[in-house]
């Protein structure tokens, strides 16, 4: 079973070589899972809260590459699953302000931005990096029953920005507002696989395609098995009715005056009560067609019905 963590593990292994891609990925990470912390005497800090160790390591590497120090902390959720979560804390110094202003996370006055400027995702590679960062920060994938991929954001503006970024890459997504957050999501296989491919999760896409092929093959095998079973049931029922008709004719001495072909068909059905029409046709002398044997047995049923 493919899980959200599998996708995050794969995406976290992708290390962009361009500064613009690292900036876009960092921007999406903080827009999806980040928050601004205001401290005494005008100090500020940024915090990103992540559900995955792989995503936390990726965020730490992005900050390190940008020359920003960060602290990683872990804690247990209070929810029933008690899952471990990861927090990265970034002190609000001048270097961090320059980097996060360039990434469109905060403005020059430290105020958080709901969405980055469009130039952050101006190139196709930057859009792919932004989508990748959004999944690392707040993405989930469910394929158990009905498929669904979600990208969680803190605000409706961020969700609609993700919708716009995906549309620029030819992927149609939808936006939904929840009580405390918003999501951009896809519920069909084509959109989900296209979005994952744009992010760079090629292994996941291949696994999904393989799963779809296996599911279709299994469904086709079930359909064929069901059809074969239905055919066997119909054949068995027809043979039973034919056998009953022949027995009634024999009990009434009605077989002696029948044409040779009908007597032969009756005798074959008595000797081979479970064989199919094709098998009975091969036993006639000379061999007859399946349709011919069917007509003969049908005629025997009509004669038997006339006895009552």
Token pair in block for residue 230:
């239905």
Parse the chain into domains and list their residue ranges.
Answer: 4-200, 216-305
Position 133 scores a pLDDT of: 94
3-state SS class at 125: helix
pLDDT tens-place string over residues 5-15: 889 999 999 98
pLDDT tens-place string over residues 136-191: 999 999 887 788 999 999 888 999 999 999 999 999 999 998 888 899 999 988 89
| Assessment of whether the complete model's pTM goes beyond 0.85 | no
Round to whole Å and give the CA distance between 160 and 52.
Answer: 24
Position 208 scores a pLDDT of: 79
Q: Is the dihedral of CA 184, 188, 192, 195 positive or negative?
A: negative
| One CATH from 1.10.1740.10, 3.90.1660.10, 3.10.28.10, 3.30.428.10 for 4-200 | 3.10.28.10
Q: Where are the beta strands (DSSP E) in 25-108?
A: 34-38, 44-50, 71-76, 84-91
**How do 139-142 and 148-153 pair as beta strands?**
antiparallel
Kindly report the number of other CB atoms within 10 A of residue 246's CB atom.
26
């Amino acid at each position: 079973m493919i899980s959200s963590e599998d996708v995050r593990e794969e995406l976290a292994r992708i290390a962009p070589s361009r500064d613009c891609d690292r900036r876009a990925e960092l921007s999406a990470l903080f827009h999806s899972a980040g928050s601004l912390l205001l401290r005494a005497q005008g100090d500020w800090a940024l915090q990103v809260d992540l559900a995955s160790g792989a995503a936390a390591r990726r965020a730490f590497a992005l900050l390190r590459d940008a020359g920003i120090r960060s602290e990683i902390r872990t804690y247990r959720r209070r929810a029933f699953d008690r899952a471990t979560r990861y927090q990265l804390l970034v002190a609000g110094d001048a270097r961090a302000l320059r980097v996060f202003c360039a990434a469109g996370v905060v403005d020059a006055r430290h105020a958080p931005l709901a969405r980055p400027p469009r130039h952050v995702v101006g190139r196709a590679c930057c859009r792919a990096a932004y989508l990748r960062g959004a999944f690392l920060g707040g993405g989930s994938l469910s394929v158990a029953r009905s498929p669904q991929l979600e990208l969680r954001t803190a605000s409706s503006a961020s969700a609609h920005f993700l919708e716009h970024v995906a549309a620029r890459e030819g992927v149609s997504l939808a936006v939904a507002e929840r009580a405390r957050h918003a999501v951009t999501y896809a519920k069909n296989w084509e959109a989900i696989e296209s979005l994952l491919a744009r992010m760079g999760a090629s292994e996941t896409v291949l696994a999904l395609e393989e799963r779809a092929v296996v599911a279709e093959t299994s469904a086709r095998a079930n359909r064929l098995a069901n059809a074969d079973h239905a055919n066997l049931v119909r054949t068995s029922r027809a043979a039973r009715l034919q056998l009953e008709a022949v027995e009634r004719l024999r009990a009434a001495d009605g077989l002696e005056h029948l044409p040779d072909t009908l007597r032969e068909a009756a005798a074959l059905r008595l000797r081979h009560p479970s064989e199919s029409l094709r098998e009975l046709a091969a036993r006639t002398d000379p061999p007859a067609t399946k349709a011919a044997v069917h007509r003969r047995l049908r005629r025997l049923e009509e004669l038997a019905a006339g006895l009552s």
